[in-house]
Chain A
Amino acid sequence: GGSLLCLSLSAARTHVSYEVKDNVAVVRINDPTSKVNTLSRHMQAEMVEVMNEIWGNAAVKSAVLISRKPGCFIAGADINMIQACKTAEEVTSLSQEGQKIFDQVEKSPIPIVAAINGSCLGGGLEFAIACQYRIATKSKKTILGTPEVMLGLLPGAGGTQRLPKMVGLPAAFDMMLTGKNIRPDKAKKMGLVHQLVDPLGPGLKSPEERTIEYLEEVAVDFAKGLAGRKVTVEKKKGLVQKIQDFVMGLPPVRKQIYKTVHSKVMKQSKGLYPAPLKIIECIQTGIEKGNAAGYLTESQNFGKLAMTSESRALIGLYHGQVTCKKNHFGKPERDVKKLAVLGAGLMGAGIAQVTIDKGVATILKDTTEEGLARGHQQVYKGLNDKTKKKSLTTFERDGIMSLLSGQLDYRDFENADMVIEAVFEDLSIKHKVVKEVEAVIPPHCIFATNTSALPIKDIAAASKRPEKVIGMHYFSPVDKMQLLEIITTNKTSKDTTASAVAVGLKQGKVIIVVGDGPGFYTTRCLAPMLAEAVRALQEGVGPKKLDSLTTGFGFPVGAATLADEVGIDVAAHVAEDLGKAFGTRFGGGNVEVLKMMVQKGFKGRKSGKGCYVYGAKSKEKKVNSGAEDILKSFKLTAPPAVSADEDIQYRLVSRFVNEAVLCLQEGILPDPVQGDIGAVFGLGFPPCLGGPFRFVDSHGADKLVQKMKRFEEAYGNQFTPCQLLLDHAKDSSKRFHK
């Protein structure tokens, strides 16, 4: 009768089920409503119910916790559950509930083995480390980590208290402050998991299904071993570990560690991100003042963080990123199986690399053998660096490289499904390329142009089939930068767009799709900010000061360094083009400054000199005195009323933001979400502000407009707020994000 009762109860449960095998309770989790398991209220409630049944069953001597989803153990807490809270207290009590459950798990009278396959993140990891034993598969999908910090939060269910004890203080700080994913091999070395299980290949079932089954079999064996005391949890500590434990036991050493970590965090975050500091506080409190104080600090800090604008901004970006990793244009009529890239420069080779990396055969065409060899080497180096980091084997590298065909002619273009051109930014050259390519490609082939500023319709003017022409604006370095800006003209067909998005997603990109116009969205926002940066430089703000002002605002890269990275020649080109298109609004700094720098060969990092001098091994970057001389010859007087540090910061940011809002107003941008994602992922807009639109919401449009009016008085129409921004300033209920 007992087992029948158990069955009838579990039939009512949808997320957590269990069966008892040989005195081992196998608890299986599976959220039927989602691709991943999250610790939602529902999941938690069922889990508590099941655990209580198991603990109440004298026949159960041990338990195994396993997910039925092939790629996910538990991906974390349910973010929506946290976002739904109105007050810090509400969030604190959520945290305390979680702490309570995992405390019971930790004090379980029977050993519990967490059998991990797929992502084990955040709350999932906190659950796992509350268990007595952990076994993980070596699958590529298996990752462990505490990514809360990236959402402006902290591990709020005991993580800040348990992790330091398990992996030691330095490793715990590293995990929680960076949020990085830890692969299974590393997790074993760190002591985060006890055993590893190899993923299986084809057998009598699919590899995924059988691997989970095998993991369960192994975990059940270990659970029995633990119950029968044949397996011990404690690992024998090596000498190094003993010494480390001893050293960490000394309060002055710990104090020094807290201090070092704190100053490192301050240096990197400029104090703009509250979460890392709160994490340090939780860990420190737990270790120095004991468990009770530690858990209390953790739950309270968790509550506080959830209410910060930084956390809201970062969570907004997370949701935005999820949205921008979907194809909203439907399934393309045919898959791109062969891609051709024209131009083996930095961009072209980068595009080729991320394409072959995903198994798509790619032609890389250049006009010279030197250019081709350089591009080929860039791709090889990009992949080879991965083998050094062990994320790729040399064999996999070779297999991927075999998909690349470097060539000087149009051989095999008749089989290309898409061509992406990345040749020199000159309309007449682009026209020539369009004609040449269209003479050799099949009718269905899409022609994409990787221009950063030329309007797509102008390029498409040379095409016989403008419906197949689209803009695909990649960011350099292509293998590192996540954003892809896709630009459609009013002639681009929906299927062409769907296909471009599909290719971008395959390449692992976060994608925004915007309308056509000079500079599209991203370049158009960046140009006024760079113009303002040049003006500031002319006004005597040194490159270093300018960099520290911008990074101090939250930009990951300072404005002067950014100009060097983009290339002074590119900046000059863009400034001139967009200046022509948009008139005085894009003025500010004198374009001649940039042109003169280019003339002198100061093209930025690629030429060894720009605002700074590159090449020397010393870490301290030196300002290029040649550039300083040029700036002196174009010297402007800084109006004192708008030249305080904060003013300079807001001059730069407000021009960026105003242009972004104008793009939305003009319909270049379809929505604020893509605007925020494009600005943060493509241009490094401060993530803690969540993007230009979220910034307007949180800062207040009225306050921003006030500042701009003040700047407008000093400089004129470059600071005239656009109508949409004025509308938002007038009516505080108007917000870009709900």
Chain B
Amino acid sequence: FLLQKYLYFKKTYITCSEKILSTKSKKTLAKPGVKNIVLVDGVRTPFLQSGTIYADLMPHDLARAALQGLLNRTGLPKDAVDYIVYGTVIQEVKTSNVAREAALGAGFSDKTPAHTVTMACISSNQAMTTAVGLIAAGQCDAVVAGGVEFMSDVPIRHSRRMRKTMLSLNKAKTLGARLSLLGSIRLAHLAPELPAVAEFSTAETMGHSADRLAAAFGVSRLEQDEFALRSHTLAKKAQDSGLLSDVISFKVPGKDIVSKDNGIRPSTMEQMAKLKPAFIKPHGTVTAANSSFLTDGASAVLIMSEEKALAMGYKPKAYLRDFVYVSQDPKDQLLLGPTYATPKVLEKSGLTLNDIDVFEFHEAFAGQIMANLKAMESDWFAQTYMGRKTKVGAPPMEKFNSWGGSLSLGHPFAATGCRLVTTVAHRLQKEGGQYGLVAACAAGGQGHAMVIEAYPQ
């Protein structure tokens, strides 16, 4: 049954690409008075499961690798960059402006300023749109954007009580005062505080919310496992056929050269069915196999005004067009960002879902993707919760994440956005489409979508 389903995907995929190739040349989305902004190129380090080969690095090491990779790939003169914006979610406190630390290490000019942004899983989307804004406002011509996430090491803190005692200890003047402070330490104060992928506002972990979301939309365990398997199968195929050309090779200090993502593992439905639910026990549906895994990785893109890119002799890959950010209830609609963002950005661009040739949606959980697809397919949801007259419709599966997604390639939170945009550009080139759509959800109940237009080849 599964094989059949997979073959079906494959078949429709082929017929569809033929169709796209035959119907060509729609209008361009250029707007009068608005600068054309282009993606020159994008790269990423291999995305590795956390705790594997990158385990001994620091976040800025990974970011540096991505930045150097971008320099190598584009041959960009190091002083040609006006600005660098980088995203990160879980911050290493020593390198809180990781953008600057990585840029200096990557050999960018020390005259190039850099700042770090954070917006959960859409942090590098935010980095890219910040770059777009700088260029559109005429303040910069060439900006590097990117994102890094390093889950092999996270800040684990002393308890608040312990921190307070330690800080007071610094101020204590006499030995007696110090001893009395030390004496106030209790065993319970030594318990550390671990960061959790949980909403601050609701204290609910994201997996738990995803499970409830899947249940709310009636997404079955089977549907989720099937979608996860599809993601891994397509990612494996893309990897084997060399389609993942955004991946650069990275000589890890003290280790070998890494040049491939290591989380792609097509399994079988039977094996996946054996897993117990990871968050809502015992009756939940979200498991380790149908969720994205903790990942280390970094990505970077070069964004320029079209004139500048052409003046420097580049052949851009795509135009970055309209984008939106949305936000909604962080409890019950935490992961519905794509549902809200998609119709909004399409409207902005004057497009419909049918105009889009390539969809790249961030796959946080298979259940989250399926819930979003069902929400987008529902008139009732559009009318009741989005104040829209009709549904926007769900993307056709043959155009959707066809080179794998976050479930299989991995999801280093702040690095995923650049991967999505670069993948759209590459797929548009490869498949010959004109418009691509990126959409993603993020913690805090936020979301993002961007329309990307192929650069004429």
Bound-complex Cα distance A311 to B235 (A): 71
Q: Given that A221-B283, A393-B203, A395-B200 are contacting pairs, would A201 and B381 also be in contact in the complex, using a CB cutoff of 8 Å?
A: no
Residues A201 and B203 in contact, CB atoms below 8 Å apart: no
A585 part of interface (Cβ distance < 8 Å): no
A200 & B202 in contact (Cβ 8 Å cutoff)? no
B-side contacts of A640, CB under 8 Å: none
Contact residues in B for A203 (Cβ distance below 8 Å): 213, 215-218, 371, 374-375, 381
Please give, as numbers and ranges, the residues of chain B lying within 8 Å of A210 by CB-CB distance. Answer: 215-216, 218
- Contacting residues of chain A (209-227) with chain B, CB-CB under 8 angstroms: 210, 214, 218, 221-222
A507 close to B (CB within 8 Å): no
B381 close to A202 (CB less than 8 A)? yes
Q: Is the CB of B216 within 8 A of A202?
A: yes
With A393-B202, A395-B201, A395-B202 in contact, is A204–B333 under 8 Å at CB?
no
Interface residues of A in 172-231 (CB under 8 A from B): 195, 197-198, 200-207, 210, 214, 218, 221-222
Chain A residues in 8 Å Cβ range of B1: none
List chain B residues, Cβ under 8 A from A197. 283
The answer to whether residues A202 and B385 also contact, given A195-B283, A197-B283, A207-B216 and a CB cut-off of 8 A, is yes
Bound-state CA distance A197–B385 (Å) is: 24
Q: How large is the interface on B (under 10, 10 to 19, 20 to 34, 35 or more residues)?
A: 20 to 34
Point out the residue from A201, A393, A395 that lies within 8 Å of B213, measured CB to CB. A201
Q: Does B331 contact A (CB under 8 A)?
A: yes
The winner among B212, B216, B280, B380 for most chain A CB atoms within 10 A is B216
CA distance A670 to B423 in the complex (A): 75
Cα distance A201–B406 when bound, in Å? 25
Minimum Cβ distance to chain A for residue B209 (Å): 9
Q: Are B374 and A204 in contact (CB under 8 A)?
A: yes
Q: Are A200 and B216 in contact (CB under 8 A)?
A: yes
Q: Which residues of A contact B (CB under 8 A)?
A: 195, 197-198, 200-207, 210, 214, 218, 221-222, 393, 395
**Interface assignment of B329: CB less than 8 Å from any CB of chain A:** yes
- A393 contact set on B, CB distance < 8 A: 201-203
Instruction: Please name the 3 residue pairs, one residue from A and one from B, whose CB atoms are nearest each other, closest first.
Output: A201-B332, A203-B216, A200-B216
B212 touches A202 (CB 8 A): no
Q: Does B74 contact A (CB under 8 A)?
A: no
Which residues of A sit under 8 angstroms from B329, Cβ to Cβ?
A: 201
Asked if B378 is an interface residue, CB under 8 A from chain A, the answer is: yes
| Residues in chain B near residue A200, CB distance under 8 A | 212, 215-216, 332
Interface: B384 (CB within 8 A): yes
B333 touches A202 (CB 8 A): yes
| Assembly CA distance A218 to B285 (angstroms) | 11
Give the shortest distance, in Å, between A205 (CB) and chain B (any CB). Answer: 8
Question: Closest residue of chain B to A195, judged by CB?
Answer: B283
Known: A198-B215, A204-B380. 5 other contacts (CB 8 A): A201-B212, A204-B216, A204-B375, A206-B384, A393-B202
Check A207/B215 contact, CB under 8 A, given A195-B283, A218-B283, A393-B202. no
Q: Mark B176-206, 1 if CB is under 8 A from A, else 0.
A: 0000000000000000000000001111000
CB–CB B332/A198 < 8 A:
no
Does B374 contact A201, Cβ atoms closer than 8 Å?
no
A555 CB to closest chain B CB (Å) equals 43
Residue interface mask B274-304, A partner, CB < 8 A = 1:
0000001011000000000000000000000
| B382 CB, min distance to chain A CBs, angstroms | 11
Question: Is B283 touching A202 in the complex (CB atoms < 8 A)?
Answer: no
Interchain CA distance A205-B378 in the complex, whole Å:
10
CB neighbours (8 Å) of A221 from chain B are 283
Minimal Cβ-Cβ distance residue in B for A197 = B283
Q: How far is the CA of A200 from the CA of B329 in the complex (A)?
A: 13
A197-B283, A218-B283 are known contacts. Are A204 and B217 too (CB-CB below 8 A)?
Answer: yes
A202, B332: Cβ atoms closer than 8 Å? yes
| Cross-chain pairs A/B with CB under 8 angstroms, 12 sampled | A195-B282, A195-B283, A197-B283, A198-B212, A200-B216, A201-B216, A203-B216, A203-B375, A203-B381, A204-B374, A204-B381, A214-B216
A395 contact set on B, CB distance < 8 A: 200-202
Q: Which residues of the partner chain A approach B202 to less than 8 Å between Cβ atoms?
A: 393, 395
Smallest CB–CB gap between A653 and chain B, Å? 51
Chain A residues near B200: list those with CB within 8 A. 395
Question: Given that A195-B283, A202-B333, A207-B332 are known contacts, is A214 also in contact with B381, CB under 8 Å in the complex?
Answer: no
* A201 touching B331, Cβ below 8 Å: yes
Nearest CB in chain B: distance from A181 CB, A: 23
A124 to B370, CA, bound (A): 38
- Give B281 Cβ to nearest chain A Cβ, in Å: 9
Kindly state the separation between the CA atoms of A476 and B216 in the bound complex, as whole angstroms. 43
B384–A202 contact, CB under 8 A?
yes
Nearest residue (CB) in B for A396 is B201
Task: Give Cα distance in the complex from A222 to B281, angstroms.
Answer: 13
Query: What is the CB-to-nearest-CB distance from B219 to chain A, in angstroms, rounded to a whole number?
Result: 9
Smallest beta-carbon distance A497→chain B, Å:
36
Q: Which residues of B contact A201 (CB under 8 A)?
A: 212-213, 216, 329, 331-333
Q: By the criterion CB–CB under 8 Å, are B332 and A204 in contact?
A: no
Query: Is the Cβ of B218 less than 8 Å from the Cβ of A204?
Result: yes
Distance in angstroms from B59 CB to nearest chain A CB is 29
Most buried by A among B202, B218, B280: B218
Inter-chain CA distance A395–B333, complex, in Å, is 17
Residues of B near A202 (CB, < 8 A) are: 216, 332-333, 381, 384-385
In the complex the two chains form, is B381's CB within 8 Å of A198's CB? no
Complex alpha-carbon distance, A197 and B217, angstroms:
16
Closest to B211 in A: A198
Query: Which residues from A are CB-within-8-Å of B201?
Result: 393, 395
A671 to B384, CA, bound (A): 45
A195-B283, A218-B283, A395-B200 given; A204·B378 CB < 8 A: yes
Contact A214 B215 (CB under 8 A): yes
Chain A residues with CB under 8 Å of B380's CB are 204-205
Enumerate chain A residues within 8 angstroms of B280, measured Cβ to Cβ. Answer: 198
Question: Once the chains are docked, how many angstroms separate the CA of A207 from the CA of B380?
Answer: 13
Expressed in whole angstroms, the Cα–Cα distance for A402 and B59 within the complex equals 38
B414 CB to closest chain A CB, in angstroms?
A: 24
Q: Min CB distance, A219 to chain B, in Å? A: 10
CA distance A395 to B378 in the complex (A): 31
The B332-356 residues at the A interface (CB cut-off 8 A) are: 332-333
How far does the Cβ of B273 sit from chain A's closest Cβ, in whole Å? Answer: 15
Residue of B nearest to A222 (CB): B283
Q: In the complex, how many angstroms separate the beta carbon of A50 from the nearest chain B beta carbon?
A: 26
Query: In this complex, what residue of B is CB-closest to A211?
Result: B216
Determine the chain A residues whose CB is within 8 A of the CB of B374 once the complex forms: 203-204
In the bound assembly, the distance between CA atoms of A393 and B198 in angstroms comes to 14
Q: How far is the CA of A198 from the CA of B216 in the complex (A)?
A: 10
Question: B369-389 interface mask toward A, CB cutoff 8 Å, 1 = contact, 0 = none?
Answer: 001001100101100110000
Docked complex Cα distance between A214 and B283 (Å): 11
Q: How far is the CA of A218 from the CA of B215 in the complex (A)?
A: 10
A210 to B385, CA, bound (A): 15
Bound Cα distance A197, B215 (Å): 11
Q: Complex formed: what's the CA distance from A633 to B371 in Å?
A: 80
Q: Which residues from B are CB-within-8-Å of A218?
A: 283
Instruction: Report the minimal beta-carbon distance from B109 to chain A, rounded to whole angstroms.
Output: 44
The complex places the Cα of A197 from the Cα of B277 at a distance, in Å, of 14
Closest beta carbon of chain A to B206's beta carbon, Å: 14
